[in-house]
């Protein structure tokens, strides 16, 4: 299927690995020039080269921390008028409500709520003037059903969801959509790291902990970054202009609700 976005430009945040990389690669395969960012320059440049070789599109790598104003300035200087914006950053750490300081909460809100709001504000009006735009917030299944150990994430990501819900309905008149993709467990470094910690806490092998987590997914497996990227690319396509303000779960069936 031709997604109808060849020649467009996308900012994909936090994209040297994992879900962000999956999105950048999928958009690039559809002919979109991508500006990718991450803090670590080495992995970022390697990913940029991998995408260039695989797709032939223009790839610009900006090594910066997207959760800082300075980092966002660098990204926007490289790409002031993107057609597509994929908001993404690292997630807040796990823990317990009683142990989180107010600064922990401020940091989580800065990373997972303020940062995507800032980039949306900086780009959405230009998209509306030009008559095309696609913004995707990578959030989490925790927006639909809270995850016990991830209260910082539950709160900040649900806050973002509410914050853009009206804008998503305003912008769509100008063919600009804002949606969120809600990942369940995907096979990335983050998932492997958290499973390793889980194994240590439970005194089981990493392999056992991995299998335990997979068994909890009706699909019987973790999602792949390619699947995630393909879903994001469709939402960014010319065909998806009537989908806005949605929170789409990609979770292999974990969410137990009928709707
Ligand atoms: P990952 O494999 O660990 O990759 C994270 C990527 O983000 C890396 O490229 C990392 O590079 C970059 N990054 C992290 N913090 C950054 C920052 N402050 N500024 C710029 N780049 C940054 O993680 P992932 O699994 O793809 O997760 C992506 C997001 O989805 C996270 O917020 C995560 O909580 C959420 N999520 C993931 C899953 C899952 O199962 N994988 C499920 C639900 C939600 P550097 O470290 O070099 O910056």
> What would the pLDDT profile of 28-87 be if each residue is shown by its tens digit?
999 999 999 999 999 999 999 999 999 999 999 999 999 999 999 999 999 999 999 999
The continuous run of DSSP H or E covering 211 comes out as helix 206-215
% of the chain surpassing 70 pLDDT: 100
Collapsed DSSP state (helix, strand, coil) of residue 34? strand
CB of 17 shorter than 6 A to ligand 1 = yes
141-155 confidence digits (pLDDT tens)? 999 999 998 999 999
pLDDT at 47: 98
Instruction: Answer yes or no: is the C-beta of 10 below 6 A from any ligand 1 atom.
Output: no
Residue nearest to atom 3 of ligand 1 (CA): 190
Strand partners, 133: 176
What is the chain's mean pLDDT, rounded?
97
Q: What dihedral do alpha carbons 66, 54, 138, 118 form, nearest 10°?
A: 30
Could you identify the atom of ligand 1 that is nearest to the CA of residue 184? 42
Whose CA is closest to 10, among 65, 62, 63? 62
Q: Which of 193, 177, 186 is nearest to 230 (CA)?
A: 186
pLDDT under 70 in the chain at which residues? none
Asked if residues 150 and 91 have their Cβ atoms less than 8 Å apart, the reply is yes
CA-nearest residue, atom 12 of ligand 1: 14
Say what the pTM is. Answer: 0.98
Residue 80's Cβ-count burial label (10 Å; 0-12, 13-18, 19+) is exposed
């Amino acid at each position: 299927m031709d997604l109808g976005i060849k020649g467009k430009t996308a900012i994909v945040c936090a994209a040297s690995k994992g879900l962000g990389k999956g999105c950048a690669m999928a958009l690039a395969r559809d002919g979109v020039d991508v500006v990718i960012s991450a803090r670590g320059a080495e992995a970022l440049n390697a990913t940029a080269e991998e995408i260039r070789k695989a797709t032939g599109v223009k790839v610009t790598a900006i090594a910066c921390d997207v959760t800082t104003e300075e980092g966002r300035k660098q990204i926007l200087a490289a790409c002031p008028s993107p057609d597509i914006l994929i908001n993404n950053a690292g997630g807040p750490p796990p823990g317990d409500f009683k142990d989180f300081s107010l600064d922990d909460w401020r940091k989580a809100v800065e990373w997972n709520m303020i940062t995507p709001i800032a980039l949306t504000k900086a780009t959405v009006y230009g998209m509306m003037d030009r008559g095309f735009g696609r913004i995707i917030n990578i959030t989490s299944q925790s927006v639909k059903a809270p995850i016990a150990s991830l209260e910082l994430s539950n709160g900040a990501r649900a806050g973002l969801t509410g914050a853009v819900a009206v804008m998503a309905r305003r912008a769509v008149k100008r063919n600009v959509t804002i949606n969120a993709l809600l990942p369940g467990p995907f096979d990335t470094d983050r998932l492997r790291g958290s499973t390793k910690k889980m194994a240590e806490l439970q005194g089981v092998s990493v392999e056992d902990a991995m299998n335990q987590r997979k068994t909890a997914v009706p699909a019987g497996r973790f999602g792949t970054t390619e699947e995630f990227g393909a879903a994001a690319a469709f939402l960014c396509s010319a065909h998806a202009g009537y989908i806005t303000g949605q929170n789409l779960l990609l979770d292999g069936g974990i969410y137990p609700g009928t709707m």
